[in-house]
Structure formats: C-alpha cells, structure tokens
Amino acid sequence: MLSAVVVGTGLIGTSAALALSNRGVNVHLRDLDPLAVRTAASLGSGTGQPPEGVVDLAVVAVPPAMVGRVLRALQDEGVARHYTDVAGVKGGLEQDLGALDCDMRRYIGGHPMAGAERSGPLAARGDLFEGRAWVLTPTAETDTETLNTALELVALCGATPVVMGAAAHDMAVGLVSHMPHLVASLVAMRLTQAEGRAVSLAGPSIRDLTRIAASDPRLWVDILSANAGVVADLLEELAADLDTTIGGLRAMAATDDAKRAHGAEVIEDVLRQGNTGRARIPGKHDGRPVRYAAVSVLIGDQPGEMARLFTDAGRSGVNIEDVRLEHATGRLAGVVYLSVAQESVALVENTLQERGWRLR
C-alpha cells in the first residue's frame, strides 16, 4: 500500500490527504503552521507525526511560488522515493526546478482540476477530486516508476488522469480557468459602484458568472503571475471579440434598418458560437446528444423541503441531472430548477403537481 507525505495542509493538500486516508494510505502531514496540521489531522486526514522511514510519495501542496524551494528541501532530506505537486501552472515551475538542480527523474508535475471559493483545511473534502481531471505533466527525465506512482495517487483520489506537456497544460488552464476567473472578477467589479437597487435585482445569471470572484485574491495573484503571458494573450483575443460585439450592439441601436439588421446578425453569431463552445464542455453524457430542460418548482424555506422535493421527483423514475436554487429577495421562499432530459419534463411536472408542488 502506498505511503505518503502531504506538505501543505490547505484545501487541496488536506483534501488529497483525506482521500488517501479514506483508502487506507498512511499519510503524514507537514506544514509551517502547526495549527493547520492539527486541524487537518483532527479531520482524519493523517498524522502530524513524521514517518519512520522513506515514504513512497511526497505531495507538495504549497503556494506556487514556494514549490521549487520546498521540493528541493524535501529531496535533500530524502523524504520520499517520488515527488509531485499540485500547482496550477507547470511551465515556469519546471524551469525553476531545473535551476535548483532538483532530481527531475523522481518528479512529475500534477494539477488536480478541482477547488472551492473557501480555503484552508476546514474547507477540505475527501471527495473533492471525485470524477475530476487530474493533469500530470512528466518532464523529459521523469522515470516510469514515478509516473506510475502519480497515477496511483490520482486513482486513489477518484480522479481521472490526463497526461500532457507543461506548455500545453498552461495554455489550457489559461483558457478554462485563469481567464474566466479574471473575467468574473471584472464583471463583479462593476457591481462595486452600482446603485443598491440595481444590485438587489441580481439573479442566477450574475451569481453564477461571478461565483469564482469570491476566491482569495492573494492566492490568485500567485497563480496568475506564473501564467501571466498566456492569460494576457487570451484576454487580448477576448478584447477583440468584445470589440466585435460592441460594434454589433451599436449597429442594433442605429436608426438605419440595414445597420440594425447587420448588428443583429453579428450578435446572433456571437450567441450561436457561445452555444457551440458551451456544448463542447465535457459532461457525464459526453459524446451523446442529450438535450436538457428545467422544471421550475416553488419551494418554501423550511427544514426538510429540499429532501421532500427530491423524494417526490424521484417517484417519476426520471434522473435529475442537475439542480439550482434561486432565493427570492427578501422572502423565505425560492425556486428550485431541476434539470432533466427534455423528453421527461412532462412526466416530472405531472408527478410533482400530483404531490402538491407548485410549478412556475
């Protein structure tokens, strides 16, 4: 059975330690903050005691700027046979490790594509990585045993391994993670000077779009600084798309019918390409054309209502693919949107209405 040292007991490190401990792995925790270690250990993620000998794998889960120095110190100490990290950017890190003369044969880069707005060990979950991609970026020198050990880590955490080069990884996460985070922050920033009445109208669209803007700014400065060039290039491309979109909207506001028609075509093209891009995001039915629709159910703010709703919806025999809750402003009520296959909407609605639920 694999043995491991997890260095860094924040959200990702503690979640990995929890996942490994739940699978019977002996996990030893290290952190500059003794309280963080005690907190993580109290959750059942491992022990704060040092291992008696060399462990199989050291997982470095510290801020990106610290990974190189920590990894070199661990290798000098001879803590583990193999080493990996969880930093969100890999290209610059590989260069740093080379400059520090780290043993690259026993190192493989890693990046679990999971996280949360909250940080620290108390935000950790043993199932954080279930079904999520976990990128592994072997260097030219990484040996096969190190790769296999990292693959075992990923499997024990319930994630799906994706092996790719460091540069390809950095471009990919810039597109699907780093750039969207900045865009969410820019949109949320527009709310800081908005009138209170305008903000009070916020609904699910703005909430969903700005959710990740609640993350720790200091952590994200570290992440973005390691991938700044890639993200800047992507934002320049986005800026060009925004210019096109603005031009289309200006044309739609013109008095000339031909200009308005052209503007509408531009905006429709933007929206259609958005549909196409959104459809490419993998899901559990990836590769199969499944169309979804939402069943909107009015719900009160009383204990047990969500459980009762799910029980009653389950009586239809239809699988609930996703769920979203929208709170009513200033009222102890809300709307639950149950996402189901489009052809099953009528069956779910009829079942819920028979059980006394009000639909919207």
pLDDT tens per residue across span 273-289: 999 998 888 765 554 55
Tell me the residue range of the domain where 113 lies: 3-164
275 and 296 assigned to the same domain? no
Q: Are 9 and 155 members of one domain?
A: yes
DSSP state of 343: G
At 117 the pLDDT is 61
- Shared-domain flag, residues 111 and 209: no
Give the contacts of 167 (CB within 8 A, at least 6 positions apart): 91
Distances (CA, A) of 304 to 20, 26, 300, 308, 311: 33, 38, 10, 6, 11
pLDDT tens column, 48-73: 999 999 999 999 999 888 999 999 99
Q: Residues 262, 328: one domain?
A: no
Residues 55 and 107 in one domain: yes
Confirm whether 175 is domain-assigned: no
Same domain, 301 and 260: no
Q: Is residue 191 part of a domain?
A: no
User: 273 and 297 share a domain?
Assistant: no
Domain co-membership, 108 together with 239:
no
Domain count, the chain: 3
Per-residue pLDDT tens digits for 185-243: 999 999 999 998 898 888 888 888 998 898 889 888 988 998 999 999 999 999 999 99
In the predicted structure, residue 291 carries a pLDDT above the cut 60 = yes
Strands (E), 114-243: 133-138, 160-163
Residues 101, 32, single domain; the answer is: yes
Task: Check whether residue 122 and residue 244 sit in a common domain.
Answer: no
* Residue in the structure block whose two tokens are 């999520």: 132
Give domain status of residue 180, yes or no: no
Average pLDDT of the residues in 315-337: 78
Whether 32 is covered by a domain: the verdict is yes
Q: What is the pTM for the complete model shown? A: 0.75
